[in-house]
Amino acid sequence: IGATSPDEGLPNALSLVARAFEAGAIAPALFAYEIENVLLVKERRRAFSPSDRQRTSDVIASLPIDVRALDAQRVRNRIAPLATRTGLSVYDAAYLDLAIEMGAPLATLDRRLSASARAEGVELLLP
């Protein structure tokens, strides 16, 4: 969001997004829900106009992101225990779990998720 939002446009986010796409961006299915929720909250708080929200959503939807399905068994048996062990939310643990499974680096600007990734032996993509 930070890379595509008219209210943010964070240079670190732009750099991180570029690096993620070079590596081949992969995300759990909840990615779409999280993106749309963040955009809707920004619109409700008047940080975005409806057209800003739609434009940002369209840009993100056009990005080459390999979105991977999640099933309840995986959430219960892998992701929730990872969240418990690391202190992450189940949502953030889903991204970490996918990076672990794929042997892929994790792209995040979130400090807690970064620390957990390091503790789990996951490489980080840095801006």
Domain with 21 in it: what CATH number?
3.40.50.1010
Instruction: With respect to residue 75, please indicate whether it lies within any of the assigned structural domains.
Output: yes
Alpha-carbon distance 123 to 105, whole Å?
A: 5
Instruction: With respect to residue 2, please indicate whether it lies within any of the assigned structural domains.
Output: no
| Secondary structure E strands in the chain | 26-28, 66-68, 106-107, 124-125
Q: pLDDT band at 25, cuts 50/70/90?
A: confident
Q: How many CB atoms lie within 10 A of CB 47?
A: 15
Instruction: With respect to residue 71, please indicate whether it lies within any of the assigned structural domains.
Output: yes
Domain region containing 101: 11-125
Question: pTM here?
Answer: 0.81
Instruction: With respect to residue 3, please indicate whether it lies within any of the assigned structural domains.
Output: no
Instruction: With respect to residue 46, please indicate whether it lies within any of the assigned structural domains.
Output: yes
What's the confidence (pLDDT) of residue 63? Answer: 83
Instruction: With respect to residue 76, please indicate whether it lies within any of the assigned structural domains.
Output: yes
Instruction: With respect to residue 25, please indicate whether it lies within any of the assigned structural domains.
Output: yes
Instruction: With respect to residue 94, please indicate whether it lies within any of the assigned structural domains.
Output: yes
Report the interhelical angle of 50-61 vs 30-44 (nearest 10°).
Answer: 160
Rounded mean pLDDT, 122-127? 85
* Tally of structural domains, the chain: 1
What's the confidence (pLDDT) of residue 64? Answer: 86
5 contacts 55 by C-beta, under 8 angstroms? no
